[in-house]
Structure 1
Amino acid sequence: MTATRHYLLAAGGTGGHMLPAYALAGELIARGHRVALVSDDRGLKIPGAPHELETHVLPAGRVTGGPVGWIKAALAIRKGRRMAIDLIRDFDPAVVVGFGGYPSLPSLLAAGATKRPRVLHEQNAVLGRVNRMMAPRVDAVAVAYHNIQRYPAGHELKKHITGNPVRDEIIAIREEGFPPLTEDGIFRLLVVGGSLGATVLSDVVPAAIAMLPRALLDRLQVVQQCRDADLDEVRGKYADMGVAAECATYIADFPDRLRWAHLVIARAGASTVAELACAGRPAIFVPYPHAMDNHQTWNVVDMVEAGGARSIPQPQFTASELAKQIQRMALEPGALENAAARAASCGLPDATRDLADLVESLAAPPMMDVIRVGALSGQRAAASGMASARMGGE
């Protein structure tokens, strides 16, 4: 039976940081541990936290805005570090886990000051700024891809490929396999563009579909996520072509739509790439060109090299290029099935479990807890005896 531990997680204020933290928290809680999470106000508003998760807000600051901004950030980080030290001494975590983003930095610095084991998780294929800074100082770094950029030299031994945690509903799709596609059967296309959709997909995808041969158009069904401002125009384009299409600003039943799809056109955020790989769905990725450190381009490298996806940089993402890629995948016998299998080969469905195993492995053995508690008790007894002696002498 696993001994109960306390674990402290620290994550930045975006879904990319918070959702893996929530997944790990849920797994550790299910294993009988007590878990607390540190973030900022923005992060703790993101839904998905386990009910049993304790949460704390600490000042962190962002290192932006020139010298004045840097000074303000340094003061906020210093204040957050002092508060995190108090939290660590009170909560007594066996391990502190950082998920990137500036709100994770004070807790990681405090963990170093209090001699606690530290683990980083990086969801993208390029280490973010905080994780780059802390990677040489921590005990282990969990990464999601084989091709990792900006990883510090000389620290390869502490790198562990765990992947990004993925929802159980997505993993279930993997077990069901790829939906059959016959030469005269319905061809189902899913288009997603991040949390808010992407105007470039609203512009290019319908134009590309208009270039497809009529025999393929007659077999085509489309589900497309669009920005609210693009919704009516995109619907009208598909109606004019006579293509069966559903368009919405948000795809609430995404796992069901992914199960339904034969091909996905998408941005290349870490969660999207992980979900498509775990589900085993071939994709055409259009990486967001303004992502920090161009990380979306690197996120797809593993899947593209395996043959499970194609990547089109946004400047080359034209209607004619997309139409060509869709036809190659849809009309060549066995192409989609083969790509689906290759995509699935990149999936890491046990990411949550493997990350939890890594974190647990750095906790002190139960006997060390007994020794540490005994030592602390001895120190307290000694301090109490000294205090009594002083009182007696007075």
Structure 2
Amino acid sequence: MTATRHFLLAAGGTGGHMLPAYALAGELIARGHRVALVSDDRGLRIPGAPAEMETHVLPAGRVSGGPIGWIKAALAIRKGRAMAIDLIRDFDPAVAVGFGGYPSLPSLLAARATKRPSVVHEQNAVLGRTNRMLASGVNAIAVAYRNIQRLPEACENKRHLTGNPVREEIIAIRDDGFPPLPEDGIFRLLVVGGSLGATVLSEVVPAAIAMLPRALLDRLQVVQQCREDDIETVRAKYADLGVAAECAPYIQDFPERLRWAHLVIARAGASTVAELACAGRPAIFVPYPHAMDDHQTYNVVDMVEAGGAVAFAQPDFTAGAVAKHIQRMALEPGALEDAAERAASCGLPDATRDLANLVESLAAPPMMDVIRVGASAQRARTSGIAAARKEAQ
């Protein structure tokens, strides 16, 4: 039985940071450990936290806004670090784990000050600003992609490829395999644009579909996530084309929709890319051009290089280019199945387990373990001496 240890997790206030933290917390709790999580008010409002996990809010300033903003941020971080040191002394974690975002900074600085082992997990293919600030002082850097940017060369030996934790419902899709597509079967297209949808997808995808041959349109089913302001316009376009389409601002049953999809058109957020790779679904990616450090462009490199996806920079995401790719994938025998297999080769479905293993490996053994090991060693030495004496007689 695994000995109970305490682990402190710290994450920024977005779903991209919080959901991997929740996944790790759930796995550690299932292994018999206690977990506390630090974030800001925004982060702790994100649903999905394990009920057994305790939560804390600590000050953490965002480093922006010029000299005055920097001073305010420094003061907030300093206050948060002092409070985090008190929390660490009280909770006594074996390891601290940061998931990026400024709210994770005070806790990881406090872990360094109290000489606790620490890990950072990077969800994107570009090491984020907070994780870059912390990289030199942590024991391990868990990454989600084989190609990682902005990792300091001196920290290369700390890199561990774990992947991004993915929901069990998505991993189950991988086990089911790719949905069959007979020559005259229904071709199912899923279009997702991140948490709020993307207007560029609402404009380009229906225009691309309008260029497809009638025989393919008659076989096509579309589920598309749209911004509220775009929904009626997109619905009308599909109705004019005679295409079966369902449009919504949020896809409630995303795992089930992904299960039957033959091709996905999507932005390239870390969670989206990880889920498509784990499920084994070919994709057309349109990285968000204003993402920090252009990380979405780098998020798709592994899948594109493997042949499981294509990526268009937003200016190149035109109706003609998209129509050409959809038609080739839908009509060329074996194209979808081959791309699906290549996409799945990039998936890391054991990310939650592997991340938990990494974190546990940095935890010093509890004192009772040390006592038991020491006692066992003493007994072994005593037995060995006794056996040697007996043999000598």
Band the TM-score falls in, shorter-chain normalisation: over 0.9
Matched pairs, number: 371
TM-score, with length taken from structure 1 = 0.93
How much does 1:154 deviate? 1.8
User: Which residue of structure 1 aligns with residue 174 of structure 2?
Assistant: 174
Is 1:313 the counterpart of 2:318? The answer is: no
Distance 1:6 1:360 in 2: 10
Partner-residue secondary structure (3-state), 1:155: helix
2:176 aligned partner, one-letter code: E
Partner of 1:118: 118
Q: What CA distance in whole angstroms lies between the structure 1 residues aligned with 2:202 and 2:367?
A: 60
For 1:292 and 1:309, how far apart are their aligned partners in 2?
22
Aligned partners of 2:152 and 2:66: how far apart in 1? 26
Instruction: Identify the residue that residue 382 of structure 2 maps to in structure 1.
Output: none
Q: What residue is the counterpart of 1:69 in the other structure?
A: 69
Say whether the 8 Å CA contact 2:5–2:366 is kept in structure 1: no
Is 1:198–2:194 an aligned residue pair? no
Separation in structure 2 between the aligned mates of residue 58 and residue 155 of structure 1, nearest angstrom:
28
Matched, 1:47 2:47: yes
Tell whether the 8 Å contact from 2:191 to 2:224 is kept in structure 1 after alignment. Answer: yes
Structure 2 partner of 1:140:
140
Deviation of the 1:330 alpha carbon:
1.0
Shift of 1:155: 1.6
Question: How many Å separate the matches in 1 of 2:31 and 2:368?
Answer: 20
Cα distance in 2 for partners of 1:166, 1:20 equals 8
Q: Residues 136 and 369 from structure 1, CA distance in 2 versus in 1: closer, same or farther, beyond 3 angstroms? A: farther
Query: Residue 153 of structure 1 aligns with which residue?
Result: 153
Amino acid at match of 1:208: A
Matches within 5 A, 1:97-112: 97-112=97-112
1:85 alignment partner in structure 2:
85
Could you tell me which amino acid in structure 1 is paired with residue 128 of structure 2? Answer: G
For 2:74 and 2:25, locate their aligned partners in 1 and report how far apart those are by CA, in whole Å. Answer: 29
C-alpha distance in 1, partners of 2:94/2:231? 50
C-alpha displacement at 1:366, in angstroms? 3.0
Alignment of 1:5-24 (within 5 A): 5-24=5-24
Shift of 1:7: 0.2
2: CA distance, partners of 1:323 / 1:136: 46
Alignment-mate amino acid for residue 357 of structure 2: D
1:46-81, Cα deviation, whole Å (9 max, x unpaired): 000000010000000000000000000000000000
Matched, 1:187 2:187: yes
User: TM-score, structure 2 length as denominator?
Assistant: 0.93
Distance in 1 (alpha carbons) for counterparts of 2:278 and 2:8: 28
Q: Separation in 1 of the partners of 2:87 and 2:108?
A: 12
Q: 2:336 maps to which residue?
A: 336
Deviations 1:332-363 (A, max 9, x none): 11000000000000000000000000000000
Would you say the 8 A contact 2:37–2:54 is kept in 1? yes
Please name the residue that 2:235 is paired with. Answer: 235
Query: How far does residue 370 in structure 1 lie from its aligned partner after superposition?
Result: 5.4
1:267 maps to 267
| 1:292 positional shift | 0.2
Q: 1:288 to 1:162 in 2, by over 3 A?
A: same
Distance verdict in 2 for CA 1:177–1:27, change over 3 Å: same
1:324, CA displacement in angstroms?
A: 0.9
Query: Which amino acid is the alignment partner of residue 79 of structure 2?
Result: K
Q: CA deviation at 1:137?
A: 1.0
Matches within 5 A, 1:332-371: 332-367=332-367
CA distance in 1, matches of 2:294, 2:329: 26
Query: What is the one-letter code of the residue matched to 1:354?
Result: D
2:130 alignment partner in structure 1: 130
Where in structure 1 are there 5+ consecutive unaligned residues?
Answer: 372-394
Unaligned runs of 5+ in 2: 372-393
CA–CA separation in structure 2 for the residues paired with 1:370 and 1:40:
37
Instruction: Report deviation, 1:232.
Output: 0.4
Taking every aligned residue pair, what percent have the same amino acid on both sides? 85
One-letter amino acid of the structure 2 residue matched with residue 127 of structure 1: L
Instruction: Quote how far apart the aligned CAs of 1:368 are.
Output: 7.8
TM superposition shift of 1:367: 4.4
Deviations 1:124-150 (A, max 9, x none): 000000101111110000000000000
Range moving further from structure 2, 151-160 or 14-23: 151-160
CA–CA distance in 1 between the matches of 2:145 and 2:135?
Answer: 16
Which residue identity is paired with 1:356? Answer: A
Amino acid at match of 1:210: A
Question: 1:220-299 to 2 correspondence within 5 Å?
Answer: 220-299=220-299
Name the aligned partner's letter for residue 304 of structure 1. Answer: V
The CA distance in 2 between the partners of 1:120 and 1:2, in whole Å, is 23
Distance between the aligned counterparts of 1:46 and 1:363, measured in 2? 28
Letter of the 2:137 counterpart: R
Tell me the distance in 2 between the aligned counterparts of 1:153 and 1:100: 19
